[in-house]
Amino acid sequence: MAADELGVSVSIEEQLGVYEHFYDIADVDNSDGKHYVPIAYHVTADDAELEFDDQHESLRPFASPFDSIDLHPYVKDYLVDAGFQVAEN
């Protein structure tokens, strides 16, 4: 996925776990929502240059501690489980 979406290969540091994501909006008709079961990994990029695909408008650097106001709750879960500090707001 990193190669397709960001144009880089990655090294897996650790598997964080299996998560569940629930959304009220579905991509198919006559459905009440969608349910994803992603497996999250802590990875390190093997290349310094990122190239994003058409599903991303922009990229921005970040550093810990993260400001939780700007984070989707699912992203916050990944960062906390990877050992990063996330500021409570």
Whole-number pLDDT of residue 68: 65
- Per-residue pLDDT at 74 exceeds 90: no
11-56: pLDDT as tens digits: 999 999 999 999 888 788 888 889 999 999 989 889 878 777 777 6
Q: What confidence tier does 89 reach under pLDDT thresholds 50, 70, 90?
A: low
72-84: average pLDDT: 86
Q: What confidence tier does 6 reach under pLDDT thresholds 50, 70, 90?
A: confident
How many angstroms separate the CA atoms of 61 and 63, rounded?
A: 7
- Contact indicator for 88, 37 with CB cutoff of 8 Å: no
1, 6, 28, 29, 39 from 34: Cα distances, Å: 20, 25, 9, 11, 16
Q: What confidence tier does 1 reach under pLDDT thresholds 50, 70, 90?
A: confident
DSSP one-letter code for 19? -
Whole-number pLDDT of residue 11: 95
